Amino acid sequence: MGGAAEAACAGVLVNGTAYRFLFPEILSRPTMRLVERGSMHPEDFFRFPQKARKEAGYPSQTDLPPEIADEAAKAKLAQATICGSEMVRQSYLRRGFPAKKFHTVHYGVDPERFPPALHEKPQGRNLRIGWLGVIGFRKGIDRVRRISEWAAERSLPLEFHFVGPVQDHESLEILRRFRRPYILHGVKKGAALKALVPRWDLYLLPSYEEGFPVSVLEAMSAGIPAMVSDDTGAREAVEEGTGAVLDFSSPSEFEDKLTHLFRDSQFRREVGARARQRIREKFTLEIYRSKIEALHDAFQEAWAYAGPGETP
């Protein structure tokens, strides 16, 4: 959270859900209330993981928890919301939020953070598929199991590399049902992560809900083709020729969209090179900062136009 010093142009920018508690306390102050939202509308953020649990055969909730309903109501107190993807923005507009208050600014990354992917020769080893993040239902762990079953039936030599904590014992149960090998690396940061990621052949993000995950951008920046869920804002980064967008509807989809990626190492390198170039052209930190600065100027102008004691 940050704020300007002068009351005439003061602003409070809140990341996450802290606005639930903060905004009701400052309604009477000459402060512009801004939210940076990386996830979808609170109800989607709740219901999509429940859908994941149900599809995996585990108990799920249907009633909206009071804190989620409260968060959704308090979101209306923001005078502007900066969305990490157009998918995030649309999740609010579908519920009647005013379009003029919602602005899409895709995140950016340092394209040099990770070394280029090694793309080692595939002979005599498994194809390495990487994952970054909490290992659980919202992130789509059971969808990975489906890929493992499909790959096993076709004798595809896949190997899943998970970086992150396992969310709960149910997620661990699903992992143990995999029909392809997997490695749990735990939490990796810094030099250890930089050494691991370039060894991956492909990156997988099968989430049921995700605004605009930076992990996908970073994998692509290293020249690693990305396979992402159509339920995430990552589909806005992975255009044709830089990876695959999946809805996980059936094994036939895997056959159509993944077989070539899995079997042809030269094709993977070409797709990875296009992914790397796309990040450098569209999703760098410099591009992100320039868009945020332009919004900042627009917000200041709107505040000044409204005048003291009014809201823009």
For the sheet with 158-163, list strands across it: 182-184, 158-163, 127-132, 202-205, 226-229, 243-246
pLDDT tens readout for residues 5-56: 344 446 788 888 899 999 999 998 888 899 999 999 999 999 999 999 999 9
Rg (alpha carbons) of the chain, rounded to whole number? 21
Specify the pLDDT at position 1.
37
pLDDT tens readout for residues 167-222: 999 999 999 999 999 999 999 999 999 999 999 999 999 999 999 999 999 999 99
Class of residue 70 by CB neighbours under 10 A (exposed 0-12, middle 13-18, buried 19+):
middle
Token look-up 């802290």 returns: 18
Residues 6+ apart with CB under 8 A from 89: 83, 102, 103, 104
Core vs surface per residue 238-262: b (16+ CB within 10 A) or e: beeebbbbbebeeeeebeeebeebb
pLDDT tens readout for residues 229-270: 999 999 999 999 999 999 998 999 999 999 999 999 999 999
**What is the spatial distance between Cα 34 and Cα 75, in angstroms, rounded to a whole number?**
10
What CATH superfamily is the domain 127-282?
Glycogen Phosphorylase B; (3.40.50.2000)
Residue ranges covered by each domain of the chain: 2-108+285-306, 127-282
